Structure 1
Amino acid sequence: MGYIDGVSASPSAANGGADAATRGTTRETGLESDLGWAIRMVSSAFRRVATSSVADLPGGPRGYLVLVAVASGEPPSQLALAQQVNLDRTVMTYLLDDLEARRLITRRPDPRDRRARQVLITEEGRDHLERAQHHLSIAEARLLADLDEHDARQLRLLLTRVAKTAQREALAPQADC
């Protein structure tokens, strides 16, 4: 019996059997079907295998995310960057101070708003980022070892979509209850 999209699918259900509707709605129970458990296990495992890959960066995983974000497009403001990587503005300021002290990023006044500061990655920052990405790809391969290339790509795509939804929800104004 297979498990597809949270619904138990028997061979006859998969082949369109007469009782497919009744058997296809039975949900499996237990930890293996709990999204929270799965997310926690993957997150914990990823944190264990990935943390050492970025340990030489100020802020470790947070510093890595900042470098990825600033390396991937238009220089963001500090505030936009804090929102993008989901960090408190004060924490972001201290982290940027540390990254700048190591010459991995620079900050400059935003030409569109001189009160804001843009964050840019340096060549040294790009070199560190490239090394960290190489080490992370090895760590990720360990974690995704049971998936073929197609499934690993699909997992990344789906997780990215869910992450974007979560980010939108985090940035949305809270409705009064």
Structure 2
Amino acid sequence: MKPRAEAEPLTLDTDLGWAIRMVSAAFRRVATDSVTDLPGGARGYLVLVALAGGSEPPSQLALAKEVSLDRTVMTYLLDDLEAHDLVTRKPDPRDRRARQVLLTDTGRARLAEVREKLGAAEARLLTDLDAKDTEQLRTLLARVAQTAQREVIGPDAAEC
């Protein structure tokens, strides 16, 4: 990918950093209410999403890495989620020292409730995009997020 040409006029509405900051701040504002009563808030939500999407229960360490959280923070977050019956932990049959994390039925139901609220919040933020543009934006952002997770950002460097 080529860098932006130096001769291009630089304005806020063409600056990637400004756009990311504005979208991130707006998303946090509209999404906060959706996850506010979930243990761990946005972090708890990300853990539930990661568990719902996986086929094999991850270890605590693998889950922390997947959602870009420090393993100590992950332990406290899982304690809270488990206390609310949203997740459960069991010894990993391949490594008794490790613990697998599983989404409970209560956690799955709670995630569906939060997803519904969050979907409405996302729709407000994406109101100026049609369905095709929305899907393209999600696809491109997911690719950039994967690059950022892999190459740029360490654990807890950014809040969701």
> Aligned pair in 2 of structure 1 residues 62, 146: CA closer, same or farther (>3 Å)?
same
Could you say which structure has the greater relative contact order, defined with CA pairs below 8 angstroms and 6 or more residues apart? Answer: 2
1:64 and 1:129 in contact (8 A); partners too: yes
Identity %: 68
Correspondence list, 1:99-110, <5 A: 99-110=81-92
Alignment partner, residue 13 of structure 1 = none
Alignment partner, residue 14 of structure 2 = 33
Alignment partner, residue 141 of structure 1 = 123
> Aligned pair in 2 of structure 1 residues 49, 170: CA closer, same or farther (>3 Å)?
same
List per-residue Cα deviations over 1:54-94 (Å, max 9, x = no partner): 11110100000000001111211101111111111111000
Correspondence list, 1:1-177, <5 A: 26-73=7-54, 74-170=56-152
Task: Give secondary structure in 2 for the equivalent of 1:145.
Answer: coil
- TM-superposed deviation, 1:171: 7.6
TM-score normalised by length of structure 2: 0.89
> Aligned pair in 2 of structure 1 residues 109, 43: CA closer, same or farther (>3 Å)?
same
Task: Give secondary structure in 1 for the equivalent of 2:49.
Answer: helix
TM-score normalised by length of structure 1: 0.81
- The gaps in structure 2 that reach 5 residues or longer are 155-160
- Looking at CA atoms only, which structure, 1 or 2, has the larger radius of gyration? 1
Amino acid at match of 2:65: Q
How many residues end up aligned between the 2 structures?
A: 151
After the TM superposition, list the runs of 4 or more consecutive aligned residues in structure 1 that deviate by more than 4 angstroms.
Answer: none
* RMSD (Å), alpha carbons: 1.7
Task: Give secondary structure in 2 for the equivalent of 1:147.
Answer: coil
